[in-house]
Amino acid sequence: MTKTLFLLAAAAPLAALATLSSAPVTAAAAAPPPAPPAAFGVCAACHTVKQGERSGFGPNLYGIAGMKAGAVAGYGFSPAMKKANVVWNRDTLDRFIAAPQSVVPGTKMAFPGVKDAAKRKAIVDYLMALK
């Protein structure tokens, strides 16, 4: 009887440990969203970045990486942006942030662009991480 009680007492913590180790790990628990770089301040004046947050004067940029231009649901894009054959990746984001009108002529984004390559890289890195 003593051996049986000992075995049962030893097995209980192991069973509990096995249950915990098989629990799924969600992406939200894995990493918090990144903090925006200082360079993103000019973007934040018009754009929101939290998942599910309503767009501001400009579209919400959460999950923009890999998305076709003009595809953020619920935002009123210009006809030029809707017709643009652009998918947002590092290169297209960098070029657009540098000179929006040269990438999508007729976009309603009235912004002259960020000329500093290091600031653009910080912004692009941030946008690519928002997923």
Q: How many domains does the chain have?
A: 1
Is residue 20 included in any domain, yes or no?
Answer: no
Confidence of residue 127 (pLDDT cuts 50, 70, 90): very high
Distance of CA 124 to the CA centre of its chain: 11
Alpha-carbon span 26 to 15, nearest angstrom: 22
Is residue 124 included in any domain, yes or no?
Answer: yes
**Dmax over Cα atoms in the chain, in whole Å?**
84
Q: Is 36 left (phi over 0), alpha (psi -120 to 50) or beta?
A: beta
Show the domain range for 54.
30-129
Is residue 22 included in any domain, yes or no?
Answer: no
- The CATH number covering residue 78 comes to 1.10.760.10
The pLDDT tens digits for 50-94 are 999 999 999 999 999 999 999 999 999 999 999 999 999 999 999
Q: What pLDDT does 33 receive?
A: 76
